[in-house]
Amino acid sequence: MANVERILQEIITSLKSTYGHEFFNSLNLQLSKHIGADYTFIARLNKKTNTSKTISLVAKGKLAENFEYSLKDTPCADISDDSLCIFPQGICELYPDDQLLQDMNIEGYVGTPLRDSQGNMMGIVVALHEKKIENPDFAVTLFELFSGRISAEIERTEREQELQELTKTLEDKVKERTQELSQAIDRLKQTQQEVLAKEKMASLGALVAGVAHEINSPLGVAILSGSMIDETAKEINGKIIDQSLSKQELQTGLANIKQSITALNFNLQRAAKLVDNFKQVAIDRNTDDIRQFTFSSWLDSLLSSLMPMLKKNNISLQMHLPEQPTTITTCPSKLAQVISNLVINAVIHGFPEKANLVDKKLTFTLTEHKQRIILSIADNGIGIENELIKHLFEPFYTTKRGQGSTGLGLSIVRNILTGALRGSIDITSQVDQGTKFTISLPKKIEANSITEIEEA
């Protein structure tokens, strides 16, 4: 009895802090040593294929390479049917078709089933002896004592492996989804840039058409004035040749020429100013450079390019600007896109044609607060219902889908303001009273701010 206790203590001590394959190999070596077997192994059964695969094999006191074998015609097949097998001798005669036993010249055989936590057969522990087993009951006792621990460790190891495989699968899926998300973000950024470019070109196209229409008026007057000067000069010259020119006719002709020249100069200067404003606005719209400029004069140039659209819709402008010029350092192209979109939004949504509004006004008010400027753009149009206001800055949200509106204008405005321009935008509105957008901008942003925002 004391000898058995010593053996158990030695086995238990050898198994401390061992897990998985280390546990199986350590226990298998101890079992092989104490029962004096030539071969011992712990195997996992596969009932679907009727095979057994060793997870630890000891041959002649040393660990050997694992192998898989068929259970057909073997004593292991009986164990897999949940039967304890003890054959102290003559195993080859009992199982003549087990070629492995024949080749190894095995005489004695001990096998114990392993059951999982549900009581189902999962494996076997086997000892093979080349000579007769003198104390088979001792081998069976050791096998049965440790079979539960072996089964538990097999289950734990397999669950751990399953968890590792699941973790690897999840990591692969996360990596795959992350890559897909990254690609989607890249496509979204590209689409956003394309939308911004299209919006900018569409706005510039409307600007060109409007300016061309606006320039036609002063140029038409200038051409008419030039024609009148030419006709008057020809008439005076003809009378001089005929020597029929009177003093009164000369004075009248010169007065007409002077009046025409005045009209000609005025309208040519007006056209030149329009072209100059258009040139500046066009340059601003096509460069993302940050520069310093006087806000009031820049705003005047920008709004002059939008006047044809405002005049067409009978909308007047009111300006409330500080007496002292306000100088800011920012990106004029992006700011121009913001203000243009807000003006266009007011024309389309604030003053719809079916509303038949009169005395339509668009009011610009500029104030300064510490290191920021506050620009409000207010219309006295039809206003917006409260439940719609919270959706205004959402991409593709529009109440005029069937009239060509994409619903991107205000979304782009907010993205530009909160991103590149480091600003913010608020909206207040009352039905039948009008709508006011309030923009807050820093007076100065650094030259690398836009690049940082766009790369983020």
Enter the pTM of the model. 0.44
Instruction: Go through the chain and tell me how many residues it has.
Output: 456
With a CB cutoff of 8 Å and minimum separation 6, the contacts of 341 are 199, 203, 409, 410, 412, 413
Neighbours of 56 (CB within 10 A): 23
Same domain, 297 and 155: no
For residue 110, being part of any structural domain is answered with: yes
pLDDT along the chain (456 residues), means of 10: 73 81 90 90 89 92 91 77 80 88 90 88 91 87 86 89 88 88 83 68 59 68 80 85 83 84 77 65 60 89 80 89 90 86 87 86 92 94 86 68 56 84 92 92 74 44
Longest dimension (CA), the chain: 159
CA pair distance 296, 366, nearest whole angstrom: 9
Choosing from 141, 166, 191, the residue where a domain stops is: 166
CATH number, residue 456 = 3.30.565.10
Alpha helices in 48-135 (DSSP H): 75-80, 91-94, 99-104
Choosing from 117, 141, 166, the residue where a domain stops is: 166
DSSP label at 326?
P
With a CB cutoff of 8 Å and minimum separation 6, the contacts of 339 are 299, 302, 377
With a CB cutoff of 8 Å and minimum separation 6, the contacts of 270 are 218
For residue 254, being part of any structural domain is answered with: no
Contact 14, 95 (CB under 8 A): no
Which pLDDT does position 452 carry in this prediction? 45
Contact 50, 71 (CB under 8 A): yes
Strand partners, 124: 43, 113
For residue 431, being part of any structural domain is answered with: yes
Same domain, 155 and 296: no
CA pair distance 371, 367, nearest whole angstrom: 11
CA pair distance 386, 351, nearest whole angstrom: 18
CA pair distance 26, 212, nearest whole angstrom: 93
For residue 242, being part of any structural domain is answered with: no
CATH number, residue 52 = 3.30.450.40
CA pair distance 285, 340, nearest whole angstrom: 11
Neighbours of 121 (CB within 10 A): 17
Could you give the number of structural domains in the chain? 2
Owning domain of residue 81: 2-166
Compute the C-alpha angle 252/216/316, nearest 5°.
105
Choosing from 124, 144, 166, the residue where a domain stops is: 166
For residue 210, being part of any structural domain is answered with: no
For residue 94, being part of any structural domain is answered with: yes
Same domain, 153 and 301: no
For residue 6, being part of any structural domain is answered with: yes
Q: Collapsing DSSP states into helix, strand and coil, what is residue 418? A: helix
Long-range contacts of range 87-92, CB-CB < 8 Å, 24 or more positions apart? Answer: 88/132, 88/133, 88/134, 88/136, 89/132, 89/133
